[in-house]
Amino acid sequence: MAKKTLDKLPLKGRRVLIRVDFNVPLDDSGNVTDDRRIRMALPTIKCAASAGGRVILMSHLGRPDGRRVPAMSMKPTAACLSKLLGADVGFAADCIGPEVEKTVAGMKDGQILVLENLRYHAGEEENAPDFVAALRKLADLYVNDAFGTAHRKHASTYGVPSAMPPGTRAIGFLVEKELKFLGDALENPVRPFVAVLGGAKVSDKIGVIENLLSKCDRLLIGGAMAYVFMAARGQGVGKSKVEREVKKKDGSKKDMVAVAAKLLEKMAAYQGRDREGAGPSGRCEVHFPADHLVARAFAADAETDVQSPDIQDGWIGLDIGPDTVELYREKLSDARTVVWNGPMGVFEMAPFAEGSKALCAAMAKVAERGGTVVVGGGDTASAVEKFGLAEKMTHISTGGGASLEFLEGKPFQTIAILGDA
């Protein structure tokens, strides 16, 4: 998916409307508590401004659902960006309308303006034509550098670029980086290629598992999603969190234990199947936790135990056990490409962070010896930051749901409509 990057556009003197992902956490005082997403957008912003573009940044923050919610204002992100750049950054009290158009018209080359929260208007998520037209008035050029929202056909990600003429649309450097590392991992991995999947839900990883089974050499599973597979096998899961069903759009419910049982059949087939382009074994090994770190209660000071292969009644699985840690370390020891999405346990609590921390350290070694390690967004990125190993990873995706859908192999129409390289 080779796309034109913004440095190939005629930026000087042009109004450059850039979709960024400044959906960052704020404290009660309205201060940005984690500026990583803003920092990741800096190369694109600096490029556009230094080339003389009139840089207009648009983003959402939170879920205001079409209402003006002061606690979800973009104003703190403008202040944070100004501090990071060491330069003045303007702020518009809305994202559309005559006043915003007037402010944009008065911009000089190299100036930067942050628009107010896109989702203060219901038309953003609805991709409403009138909202698209209002945003379109602000732009000569369009750039998408918000990978975290690239799987959503909203006004700012799909409607506006669709309304722009060919030759005026491009991607930013962050989206370019996301497409490169995630795309290379899936389509051209240096083998052995190991995928590590964890987290609480199996429902949002069904497609990911099915896609990766045909691509990776080893699949290591942990987190609470492992307990669904245990339940499907008839194993004891105690009081562990098990995603037994999910509600579908039509209101009916899907039995996730039954879904897991079918996935187990597919996994068994892939473990014995020759696969063109695979590693030396020609198969995809699939590994589940051999033992579990469990507790009497969901609390940092609760009584703990290590149990295998089942989890006994009255106990809660909260991390992979020491034998599993050693097994997974060994399976990562010769990896050349690793994709990780989802922690192995409740890493926010120190007693149950060891599984995720140990595998994170093993992945850092993969990267240190020249391998590629791509970390999915959301909780996985938070875990890597918590363990102080973020700088050791090859790439940490800024997209939670977007990275999952990419790993699932779903096309991103918001990227497809942009200019080809």
The 3-state secondary structure of the chain, one letter per residue: CCECEHHHCCCCCCEEEEECCCCCCECCCCCECCCHHHHHCHHHHHHHHHCCCEEEEECCCCCCCCCCCHHHCCHHHHHHHHHHHCCCCEECCCCCCHHHHHHHHCCCCCCEEECCCHHHCCHHHHCCHHHHHHHHCCCCEEEECCHHHCCCCCHHHHHHHHHCCCCCEEECHHHHHHHHHHHHHHHCCCCCEEEEECCCCCHHHHHHHHHHHCCCCEEEECCCHHHHHHHHHCCCECCCCCCCEEECCCCCEEEHHHHHHHHHHHHHHHHCCCCCCCCCCCCCEEECCCCEEEECCCCCCCCEEEECCCECCCCEEEEECHHHHHHHHHHHCCCCEEEEECCCCCCCCHHHCHHHHHHHHHHHHHHHCCCEEEECCCHHHHHHHHCCCHHHCCEECCCCHHHHHHHHCCCCHHHHCCCEC
Closest CA to 36 of 363, 401, 339, 396: 396
Strand order, beta sheet including 54-58: 90-91, 112-114, 54-58, 15-19, 141-144, 169-171
The tokens for 170 are 């491009």
Active site residues: 37, 201, 378, 401
Q: Does residue 104 contact residue 54 with C-beta atoms inside 8 Å?
A: yes
